[in-house]
Structure 1
């Protein structure tokens, strides 16, 4: 339950406004990624829970990635922005971006982001349609709360959220993931929490 609350809190207090439809969400993000680059990091950080897969949006992200990857290597902030583009393609769940992501495997600056994105692709291919399914949204609640509710419809929701929290790479979730890995009863939940700690934080059971 603490994982549910932590994820819900991160969504509820996000600065991104509610939209009337998935198309509205897509158009809002297209506008962001077609505009000033200083807005891209915050927007990219929300893709892990927005449930978006539209190629009109992610084609723009892919183009930004290919245009800026080499020129950004010597600037840490710019390199971090490009790394977020790579992760974003993974969160799209669209296999068409797999060849582009693979271009960065073995790259000194971007390899770990490419590896994570390739691991995310098949998961988000399944998750995004569920997260963004507005037919199950309750109008009494915000879009973000409804996205959490959609996640909870799955029998493996806690395992799913363990992965989602891990993929955020936010250090504040380490304690929660450790608690799940140590105390959860369901074996598959323990496995996902343990894998999230190892994959995203480099923490392995001794």
Structure 2
């Protein structure tokens, strides 16, 4: 085995490890994107771990910018954060691929997508009430989370539970959804005066 072949194998193993598993997102002062992944024919299965602190030279109002793109490969992304004060912008471009996104349960912001979308029970229970679905003409505010997904495949939105630091439990969330246990029933005042009338 030549040195060039060995280098190619090591580089491929290193590159594959970047596309799978956890990837810590850090502030990049000299770049538009804090995390940039663009591959041609490979599947992506990543945990994008947002920092729980603000780096020393990061501006206070800076939103972490992440881009993930692939031509033909399944995309699975989990955005993991422990504190909601770390806002993010995520853009996913997958021309023909199916995309599955796990967004934090404390997500508050905008989602813009092109393609056919489905939402898990956990997403509907915990995240949906804080989401604004937007079109092309909406202005982008930097003080909130933002997700843009462009694909001709299917899109699945799921929930990343920030309390347990794990993906949603589908069985538990489905039962909550079926029995309406995810939201407390609104308190209604009862007018008892009708009992006093003759």
* RCO comparison, higher one (Cα < 8 Å, 6+): 1
> Looking at CA atoms only, which structure, 1 or 2, has the larger radius of gyration?
2
> Which protein has the bigger helix share?
1
TM-score by length of 2: 0.31
> Which protein has the bigger strand share?
2
